[in-house]
Amino acid sequence: MKIRFKLNGREIEAEVEPNTLLLNLLREHLHLTGAKYGCGIGECGACTVLLDGEPILSCLTLAVEVDGREITTIEGLARDGELHPLQRAFLEEGAVQCGFCTPGMILTAKALLDENPNPSEEEIREYLKGNLCRCTGYVNIVKAVKRAAEEMAR
């Protein structure tokens, strides 16, 4: 089946099977390996991408279902070689350890800041609760989101 969608700002056309998962289309066919396979059943958030700006799980999304929509992956956040403030803040606050959860974590955090530019710690933890970090770096992750929020407010 032929599908067309916007991926990180560019129009894409792809040939997929009905049972192709969005995660596998991104990783295996389009070679965007930012989104990760963690659990495959909706519980870890490692495969999070933005669909029309909202975080969703690409491990539970059929590729055909994004026909005509817009997908943003972690590869699409930097602008002209400049990291997104969230990406910078994650590095500066040591919120990245093994990095496996980081793409999903940052994309979910981006949706949070787009909707609520100045979230409290509680709001950050609630919004990010579907993104598990097995290195358990939650304290620094919260700090990084706060720091990015402050920078983006400037």
Ligand X SMILES: Cc1cc2nc3c(=O)[nH]c(=O)nc-3n(C[C@H](O)[C@H](O)[C@H](O)COP(=O)(O)OP(=O)(O)OC[C@H]3O[C@@H](n4cnc5c(N)ncnc54)[C@H](O)[C@@H]3O)c2cc1C
Are 127 and 115 contacting, i.e. CB atoms less than 8 angstroms apart? no
State CA 101 to chain mean position distance.
9
Question: Interface with another protein by CB under 8 A: which residues?
Answer: 1, 18-21, 24, 37, 39-45, 48, 51, 54-57, 59-62, 64-65, 108, 111, 127, 129-131
Half-sphere exposure of 7 (CA within 13 A, CB side): 19
15 vs 28, which CB is nearer to ligand FES?
A: 28
* Binding partner at 98 among another protein, ligand FES, ligand X, none, C-beta below 5 to 8 Å by kind: ligand FES
Element (H, E) at 49: strand 48-51
Are 71 and 50 contacting, i.e. CB atoms less than 8 angstroms apart? yes
Query: Which residue in 1, 42, 116, 150 binds ligand X (CB under 6 A)?
Result: 42
Instruction: Answer yes or no whether residue 44 interacts with ligand FES by CB under 6 A.
Output: yes
Task: Select from 7-15, 24-32, 79-87, 96-104 the region that touches ligand FES (CB under 6 A).
Answer: 96-104
